[in-house]
Structure 1
Amino acid sequence: MSVLTLSKHDFDVFCEYFYKKTGIEFDESKRYFVDKRLLKRIEETGAKSFRDYFISLRFESSQKEFQNIVNIMTVNETYFYRKEHQFKTLTSHVMSELARSDRNTDRLLRILSLPSSTGEETYSIALQLMENWPGLATYDVELEGADIDTDVLERAQEGIYSRRSVQYLPPDVLKRNFTTLSGGRYQISEDIREAVHLFRMNLSNRDDCRKLRSYDVIFCRNLLIYFDDKSRQLAINALFDALNPGGFLFLGHSESISRMTSLFQVRRFPESIVYQRPSS
């Protein structure tokens, strides 16, 4: 019985293809991670070799298998209220500033969270607004979450989480907004799940990016670190275009774009730094 293996050439070919399609770059340090997941998927499909599998992957019209490999290769490590100081900036400063702007005469504010992963990031925004922004009683807020991984979007829609995922939530917030299930699991309320629109999108795909428009706030934390400079620049431009004039972009604490672009103004709030699209 033959054992499937990946040569250095196979690894390079796959990584180049995956990068072109997603903007996510795997270098040699990720070789074990990629090999293990890719070989397992090849075996599951019944392909006889990497070459057979890769030919099928490239020319499959439905792209269903490519979506399967994306779901396998993307990392989704998150929890509720991660880096809470940025949420405090949102509720203490950003939302009120947006609400005061003249252009919001329709009293609708739109927020996008990507990657949404299994939902903790997106639902954290919802909880923070409900708990800490009085303007929610006056202004309509439309909250959306997007991710390239369809499996995690399904899990986000279900809204069931482990004790580890909710460990940093205040007990009263957990009690008010979650149902306790068996096995130490918690499900976020149906009202919150129905209020959030979740959808698939690839920030490296120009057609997908064209659909992102008219947001007042975008949370895009800990995604750009997986891109190289070229992909990162394309993503930054797409995020800029997706924001309304005066809109705000929240990035991960290790993600600075000041040296890469002059499109955004840097706003320094007491809790964190945020990037703003100029109003004019």
Structure 2
Amino acid sequence: MPPEDAPREKASAGEIRIGDAEFRRFRDFFYRRTGIVFAESQRVYVERRLSDCILAAGSRGFADHFARLMVEPAEMERLISSFTVNETYFYREDYQLRCLTSSLLDRITARKRPGQPIRLWSVPCSTGEEPYSIAIWLLENWPEVDAWEIEIVGSDIDGRVLQAAEAGIYSERSLMRLPRPLVGKYFTAIGDGQYRIDAELRGSIRFSRVNLIDQGDTAKWRDIDVVFCRNVLIYFDEVSRRTAAGNLYDSMAPGGFICLGHTESMSRISPLFRVCRFEDAIVYQKPEENGHV
């Protein structure tokens, strides 16, 4: 027999086995950590991604890797990154950006006192295209942008995409919807089809890791005037969606607005918000303290 401290061989692709009990154990674990639920019909997808993670980490199999997830934050980060969808681009769903400057900001500034900041939160922000899009849109389309202190926060559960967001380097694909004059104005070509966003813009966004179903995470942010929470709640089950909606509600200022993805409806998730129909978009509002919209 080999000595107890002898290194064990890493698993190979053909040796990884994920049985029924292991699949359920992982699915429940991932759900508790992220709020994302995997259906039985997604089992092949889950097994493939999980097997890739086990191989990349050099673990000996499912049990060994599962144990590592409990004690190694870096492995948990890699796991989350492999299972979350992070593809996005600049000016995505720009009708909500039009609504921001044509309707929402007028209502927000009407209840602000001089010197009070306007707080905008992009969650999940993925690799940063959305919060940077908000900043560019405001600079280009809101005449009052220099008259107010504007705070933009980008948050995501995936720490690796936050690092990419802070670096601010993007491909042609990410910039495909951005008018070319704005690419030249706010980006510098750095070769190989890559562009880096202006340093001043990079410095204007604050990035932070946030799990939407963790009240301790969302409680870090308060008095948010507009939340962009697009195309993530569709991956949650009903319980997690209600939890996330409640956490976002608590982080918002009275009278604040939340923008969801075009396939999402807060009316089917939580009764806390009021539906607001504007010319450019349907959004949802946290009632003001006096009950008025």
Q: Which residue matches 1:234?
A: 243
Larger radius of gyration: 2
1:100 equivalent to 2:119? Answer no
Deviations 1:16-70 (A, max 9, x none): 1000111011112322322122112212333222122212323x1x533222211
Shift of 1:260: 3.0
Shift of 1:8: 2.5
The letter for the 1-side match of 2:93 is K
Distance 1:80 1:44 in 2: 31
2:30 to 1, 18, 23: 18
Percent identity, aligned pairs only, is 42
SS of corresponding position for 1:216: strand
1:185 equivalent to 2:197? Answer no
Q: Which residue matches 2:227?
A: 218
Distance 1:76 1:104 in 2: 37
Deviations 1:143-193 (A, max 9, x none): 010001111111111111111110111111111111112111111101000
The letter for the 1-side match of 2:149 is D
Shift of 1:212: 2.1
Q: Which residue matches 1:78?
A: 88
SS of corresponding position for 2:151: strand
Unpaired segments ≥5 residues, structure 2: 1-11
Distance 1:180 1:53 in 2: 40
1:44 equivalent to 2:53? Answer no
Give the conservation status (yes or no) of the 8 Å contact 2:77–2:160: no
The letter for the 1-side match of 2:215 is R
Q: Which residue matches 2:17?
A: 5
Q: Which residue matches 1:54?
A: 66
The letter for the 2-side match of 1:32 is V
Shift of 1:82: 0.6
Distance 1:66 1:275 in 2: 33
How many pairs does the alignment contain? 277
Q: Which residue matches 1:199?
A: 208
Question: Normalised by the size of structure 2, how large is the TM-score?
Answer: 0.91
1:143 equivalent to 2:152? Answer yes
Give the conservation status (yes or no) of the 8 Å contact 1:98–1:104: no
Distance 1:82 1:182 in 2: 24
Distance 1:105 1:154 in 2: 34
Shift of 1:205: 1.3
RMSD: 1.4
1:271 equivalent to 2:280? Answer yes
1:69 to 73, 76, 79: 79
Shift of 1:231: 0.2
SS of corresponding position for 2:267: coil
Structure 1 runs, 4 residues or longer, greater than 6 Å off = none
Distance 2:193 2:60 in 1: 42
Give the conservation status (yes or no) of the 8 Å contact 1:216–1:244: yes
The letter for the 1-side match of 2:36 is I
Q: Which residue matches 1:173?
A: 182
The letter for the 2-side match of 1:39 is S
Distance 1:115 1:239 in 2: 12
1:120 equivalent to 2:129? Answer yes
Deviations 1:186-223 (A, max 9, x none): 11101000010001111111211221211111100001
SS of corresponding position for 1:134: coil
> After alignment, is 45-54 or 201-210 more displaced?
45-54
SS of corresponding position for 1:258: helix
Distance 2:285 2:170 in 1: 33
Deviations 1:76-111 (A, max 9, x none): 01011111111100011111221121x433241011
> After alignment, is 227-236 or 252-261 more displaced?
252-261
The letter for the 1-side match of 2:106 is S
